[in-house]
Amino acid sequence: MRILVIEDQPKIASFVKRGLKEEGYSIDIAGDGEEGLFLAKTQDYDLIILDLMIPKIDGLTVCHQLRQNQITSPILILTVKDQVQDKVAGLDAGADDYLTKPFAFEELLARCRALLRRQKPSVSTKLQVEDLILDPVQHKVIRGGQEINLTPKEFALLEYLMRNEGTVVTRTMIAEHVWDMNFDSFTNVIDVYINYLRNKIDRGREKSLIQTVRGRGYILKA
């Protein structure tokens, strides 16, 4: 899952980014409304976390413009503005949820999960291909009854492959959904992580689930 955080306070942005990355999400940061609006219009995000009091273009206007431009990604407003009229204005502008600062990270994470479930109902259920099972909530992977330990990035990559079971995904698609906008597309990092997964998921198994499609990318299928 790829999340855009539009927040002008570096400490808060860094805190949110670090915490969400530890949960396996890919995070982009925008420091003002103008940059945030541009990224949201040009990139594909599963969720947008938006502060209201940001420079250049305020958060409420950003929210309005995103909805006017048919951007349907869930929007979670994260702000110090805690008056009822502020919450009403934010939700009326098109936001899906509203959380005030200061906040507990556990609550932010729970609200993110809830919005992602609402957008993609399958996010709350286990994914299964043959004897490979991935639980997005418990962050567990099991194959043939044996639990497999994955790093957050390996887990995110496997989840993306499993959600696109039977479909060829290109390196560009993987980079956009599993890494962030600073990813260097000229490196072989994606191939390296695919090999990491193969060693943990397929090695020593009768069936190999992760396959290479020459000149196109990768596919996970039974």
- Which residue from 42, 114, 38, 43 is spatially nearest to 76, judged by alpha carbons? 114
Q: What is the CA radius of gyration of the chain?
A: 19
* Average pLDDT over all residues of the chain: 91
Q: What are phi and psi of 147, to 5 degrees?
A: -75, 140
Q: Quick one: pLDDT at residue 119?
A: 67
Residues 53-77 as b or e (16 or more Cβ within 10 Å = b) = ebeebebbebbebbeeeebebbbbb
Q: What are phi and psi of 84, to 5 degrees?
A: -55, -40
Highest CATH level, class, for 125-220: mainly alpha
Lowest mean pLDDT among 4-8, 58-62, 186-190: 186-190
Q: With bands split at pLDDT 50, 70 and 90, how would you rate the model's confidence at 30?
A: very high
Q: What are phi and psi of 14, to 5 degrees?
A: -65, -40
Peptide bond into 102 cis (omega under 30): yes
Edge-to-edge strand ranges of the sheet holding 26-30: 26-30, 2-6, 47-50, 75-79, 97-100
Please report, as a single letter, which amino acid is at residue 56: K
Alpha carbon distance 44, 21 (integer Å) = 17
pLDDT tens profile 1-18: 899 999 999 999 999 999
Q: Quick one: pLDDT at residue 53?
A: 96
CB hemisphere CA count around 64 (13 angstroms): 7
pLDDT tens profile 97-155: 999 999 999 999 999 989 988 766 544 478 999 999 999 878 899 999 999 999 989 99
Strand pairing partners for 211?
219
Strand pairing partners for 50?
6, 77
- Find the farthest-apart pair of alpha carbons in the chain and give their distance in angstroms, rounded: 60
Higher pLDDT, 74 or 178: 74
Alpha carbon distance 142, 197 (integer Å) = 13
Instruction: Determine the topology of domain 2-120 in CATH.
Output: Rossmann fold (3.40.50)
Q: Where are the domains of the chain?
A: 2-120, 125-220
Asked whether the predicted pLDDT for residue 65 surpasses 50, the reply is yes
Alpha carbon distance 82, 85 (integer Å) = 8
Residues written for the chain: 222
